[in-house]
Amino acid sequence: MSTNQRLEVTLETQLESVDLAENIVMRASEAAGFPEDDLHRIGMAVRESVINAYNYGNSQDKRKKIRMTVEFEPGKMIVRVLDEGKGFVPEDVPDCCAEENLLRTSGRGLFLMRAFMDEFRVQKGVTGGAEVVMTKKLPHSISGNGKH
Amino acid sequence: MALQGTCREVLDVAIVDFSGKITLGEGSAMLRKMIRERVDAGHRKILLNLGDVDYIDSSGIGELVASFTTVRSAGGELKLLNLTKRVHDLLQITRLFTIFDVQSDEAVALSRFRPV
């Protein structure tokens, strides 16, 4: 896959969108030459971001949409997931690895996104809502000008 | 693949052999249902064999933790058996090895349950 390509998908706020988003990004990542383990990590990070958008951002409101873009720039892949919620501050989410939080049944999604991608941030989307932006360095063999 | 679970009993331990994915939706709900059924049936020693579970997301992790607390609240013990590498790595980075007793040998896992 050459660099400077962009893929944009509008997802319904429904459970099926979680698998769909994961599959789309894993296929794009596979085409970009990511190794198997990275495909799994990227897929899971995207899955978690769409789960957050579905559950918390859009509060499972089917009238709202989830917008996902995948961009390939020289040396990196950028995935953005935008919801139509009120936004959130990642620092306000309790540390799931802290001793006192280990038995919590939620709150690990953000941790996994951070753990599996190279860069992670949350910003206010242009249309409101939260936009999760995650970056993964492209495998060395295709970085640069997209030449193998 | 959707999560599937079959239950067998060895001595007084209920062993649930799972295969598939424990993810948001049916997978997590299936795990919750099977644990609830075992506890309601009076089981207090439950061993989850995850040898054929190749994928767990944060919802599935949360459901495993909920299962642990459900069984513990009933006065019992829940242990994990045969984690795949990915599931193993996931539990490791989320520090859940500090709460779960994880074994790779069924006989050893069975021997680690407290006598009632």
Structure confidence at residue A143 as a pLDDT band (50, 70, 90)? very low
Please say if the pLDDT value at position A146 is more than 80. Answer: no
Structure confidence at residue B75 as a pLDDT band (50, 70, 90)? very high
Does residue A115 lie within any of the structural domains? yes
Residue B58 with chain A: CB contacts under 8 Å: 48, 51, 106, 108-109, 112
B65 to chain A, closest Cα gap in Å:
6
Structure confidence at residue B116 as a pLDDT band (50, 70, 90)? confident
Residues 56-95 of B with CB under 8 A from A: 57-59, 61-63, 65-66, 68-69, 86, 90, 93-95
Please say if the pLDDT value at position B70 is more than 50. Answer: yes
pLDDT of residue A59: 97
Report the CATH number at residue A96: 3.30.565.10
Cα dihedral across residues A95, B63, A38, B82: positive or negative: positive
Closest CA in chain B for residue A43: B57
Residue located via tokens 């961009």: A71
* CB-closest option in B62, B66, B68 to A108: B62
**Given 3-state DSSP classes, what are the helix, strand and coil percentages for chain A, each rounded to the nearest 5?**
35, 25, 35
Structure confidence at residue A3 as a pLDDT band (50, 70, 90)? low
Considering the four listed CATH numbers 3.30.750.24, 3.30.420.40, 3.10.290.10, 1.10.1520.10, the one that applies to the domain covering B4-110 is: 3.30.750.24
A146 to chain B, closest Cα gap in Å:
30
The count of CB pairs under 8 A between chains A and B is 46
Instruction: Give this prediction's pTM.
Output: 0.92
Q: Which domain holds residue A82?
A: 5-142
The whole-chain average pLDDT of chain A stands at: 92
Does residue A147 lie within any of the structural domains? no
Measure the CA–CA gap between A83 and B96, rounded to whole angstroms.
30
Look at residue A95 and give its three-state secondary structure.
coil
Total count of domains within chain A: 1
Would you tell me the crossing angle of helices B26-40 and B58-73 to the nearest 10 degrees? 10
Does residue A58 lie within any of the structural domains? yes
